[in-house]
Amino acid sequence: MSVVIITVGLFCIGLYGVLTRRDLVAILASVEIMLGSATLLLVGLAAAGAPLGAHEGAVEATGVMVIVLAAAEAAVGLALVISVARRFKTTRVDELTEVKG
């Protein structure tokens, strides 16, 4: 039960960061905190629910898979941030109001 409380706390911290920050890099870091809390919940509940010896390695494989997906998401997110920073010369969200095709 303590895993759930910790992950909900981490998710709320990440959500607060997404809603209050104005810099794209800080928003991306907050999204990563939210994804990390979801990973922690997934692995924690899988480890608590699996009896010893059952599905050996399934918990670790799930954790590694989610971490690899998080790394890919971070790479794509940083590439988008760099593209926006080069084009508009800023990473502030409130300054990025123009939408052109």
Strand partners, 92: 23
Q: What is the largest CA-CA distance in the chain?
A: 57
- Interacting residues of 34 by C-beta distance below 8 A, sequence separation 6+: 10, 11, 14, 15, 18
Q: Which CATH architecture has domain 2-95?
A: Orthogonal Bundle (1.10)
CA atoms of 68 and 52, how far apart (whole Å): 26
19 with 65: CB under 8 angstroms? no
pLDDT digits 0-9 by tens, 7-66: 999 999 999 999 999 898 899 999 999 999 988 888 887 777 766 665 667 777 877 888
Q: What is the pTM of this model?
A: 0.80
Confidence of residue 67 (pLDDT cuts 50, 70, 90): confident
Domain assignments of the chain as residue spans, ordered by start: 2-95
CA–CA separation, 13 vs 29, rounded Å?
11
Give me the amino acid identity at 99: V
Q: Which of 29-33, 72-76, 97-101 has the lowest mean pLDDT?
A: 97-101
